Amino acid sequence: MSEPALDPRERSRIVRDGLGVGIATGTYGISFGAVAVGAGLSVAQTCALSLIMFTGASQFALVGVLAAGGTPLSGALTAILLGTRNTLYGLRLAPLLDWSGARRAAGAHLVIDESTAMSVTRTSTPAARVGFVSTGVTIFILWNAATLIGALGGRALGDPRTYGLDAAVGAAFLALLWPRLHNRRNRVTALAAAGVALSLVPVTAAGVPVLASAGVALLIGALWPGPDETEWPEVDR
């Protein structure tokens, strides 16, 4: 795509929106840092997750499965399965961002819910790039700084149960799930997946129930016809 250069006022408006979403989202990193250390990860492992994985739901999933006594392998697989939605975002963003080579490789790291939401609705490549980069870079910097603060704070706190941090993990997953419960198919999927997971808890190793719940998505996705537009994440503005 080739478009005329972006109007400066339009550009600064997009940047301002990106910064706002970035600040609101980046600070979640505090809760991730505190929860990860409470789950038994070292501060270095916690920070490595935010730097390398850099996709919140997968990071929470890895530490959540470990905290529940699951093996590192089942934690990693759950995180990777959750990371597949970023592939879909990338597919939709690719023609809009129109990057190749080193820029594409660097940009790929920033493909997450919020950067996608702030760029996928733009109508030109320059506008999409400004929205994507301003949101993605702001979140990357703040998410990593906040992770370190949360991890150091979490270590200083001691036993996470005293502060209810074990309950915070469930709340974090629910907050990530909440905006996706807008139609009946998704609500049925969520309830069935929770039921399948709980019924497997007593009879399988920790970590397996969550992985098995992906089967519910396969089944309902294959059998339940209906609108199949890819859903875009919502963001706090």
Which of positions 72-101 make contact with another protein (CB under 8 A)? 72-73, 75-95, 97, 99
Q: Which is nearer to another protein, 10 or 71 (CB)?
A: 71
90, 208 Cβ separation under 8 angstroms? no
Binding of residue 180 to another protein (CB under 8 A): yes
Residues 47-76 that bind another protein (CB under 8 A): 48-49, 51-55, 57-58, 60-62, 64-69, 71-73, 75-76
Residues 12-41 that bind another protein (CB under 8 A): 24-25, 27-28, 30-31, 40-41
Q: Which is nearer to another protein, 10 or 186 (CB)?
A: 186
**d(C-alpha 70, C-alpha 141), whole Å:** 30
- One-letter amino acid at 101 equals G
Residues 184-203 that bind another protein (CB under 8 A): 185-186, 189-198, 201-203
78, 61 Cβ separation under 8 angstroms? yes
Please state the separation of Cα 64 from the chain's center in Å. 14
Other Cβ atoms within 10 Å of 156 Cβ, number = 9
Phi, psi values for residue 94, rounded to 5°: -50, -50
- One-letter amino acid at 158 equals G
Contact segment (CB under 8 A) with another protein among 10-18, 122-130, 137-145, 167-175 equals 167-175
What 8-state DSSP symbol labels residue 178? G
Contact segment (CB under 8 A) with another protein among 1-9, 15-23, 120-128, 157-165 equals 157-165
Site size toward another protein (CB under 8 A) is 113
46, 33 Cβ separation under 8 angstroms? yes
Contact segment (CB under 8 A) with another protein among 5-13, 15-23, 121-129, 227-235 equals 227-235
**d(C-alpha 131, C-alpha 117), whole Å:** 9
Contact segment (CB under 8 A) with another protein among 8-16, 122-130, 137-145, 219-227 equals 219-227
